[in-house]
Structure 1
């Protein structure tokens, strides 16, 4: 009787097949009837449930699914749409997982830290007034080696050389000697030329270095020529006959010039060393004015 009632509720053979996917074979199974009271109200696969009397009741929202299946030719896969929905949801979940992974990847990426003054190597950037850093320190080293500045003229900021007006003036001086535009800015062309510069070509300004006499090595340059001119103006001229000039027009700091420097130092209460140091040069410039 229970079977007849269940069959009556199914409008088509295709729908009846739906029952077998979730309902047991009732037959004369006493065990099943004994379990009826405990099974009433249970929902089977979201499609049907047993009421208190053991009758099969279909859930209204799923009748449309069965009719769709029936209209599609009764292929027996009426619930494929459920699977389809589930699969779509699963795909969305996969997309969400991928997006989350992408966001985690993006959040874990850290931008490179900006360079600090100590991170720069010479040539990394164009150098000009106001800049400081390890590259400026390197630049001043080349300028000092090239006889364009005295190391005592270099000012520092945060432990690195500062590109100030003095450095800009020295760069202009070098650019003039090298035949470059005199901008006072150390661009890549200026830096490259400075690195390979032969300081015998430098027009040395007096005061850039300390001048002294030695039997093994003698200072030569335009600054020595300027020193002789100042000594002459101050009344302590070296013997003109003992002035030695190089083939490229530079004056040598000879023993006779060192003697003239000693006389000037003694007369002006300076340390008598025979070396044209900063104090001696300043005194000579003051006398010449």
Structure 2
């Protein structure tokens, strides 16, 4: 893979972010070489979709609340990309990042999960490309080693709340707890807090934007939804990524919250195809 002269080494991405003291130095600089669901179905969920997986993850201690995996389409329109992750506060999440040539961003929500995340990390490592992992705090607390592996490989770790709730149904204090506790555990584990966050189900509200900004984070949604949580088949996931490929797009996939074997297998197929088609897989450098 080609190296951009402006890039920091992959194992120092998060150290650079910490040194910037929360200022998101974005402006189009991209690292080009290297998300307890309520019992009722979330709005926009597909009829007949399988219920969330229940019980502890394999090999992990029992947790008081299970992680879940079910998404909505983004509920807001595209917003322009700006430099700071502090007030003035956004009113919409970002749906894509500025494109420098044929660049794309791969994101994975709900993890880390020891059954699937290691295989995704291995595939990314084999192709020497970075991704963004939006982790849930209730998962991260049991698998700190996977967070450290993400950071060491130059991936960006984002905040996907603690227990994957439907954010608009929470009081502001609960939103702050969901985001703040997750940022704290990420910082404790890898030495720097997240600079990006994503609302579960794509369900944002005014308080989430305000609290996220106060915690120094930018809101990132997505432009290509693989719908891998529906387990549509590996080939279907691959087709959705390839059909949606375009400069600047953000691809949504999952590495936890259910059976993610199709997501793992699909990544192995579409990633080399994207690279062969001339796409550079990027993350924001902040």
Please indicate, yes or no, whether the TM-score normalized by the shorter chain is above 0.5: no
Which of the two has greater helix per residue? 1
Instruction: Give 1 or 2 for the bigger CA radius of gyration.
Output: 1
Which of the two has greater strand per residue? 2
TM range (shorter): under 0.3
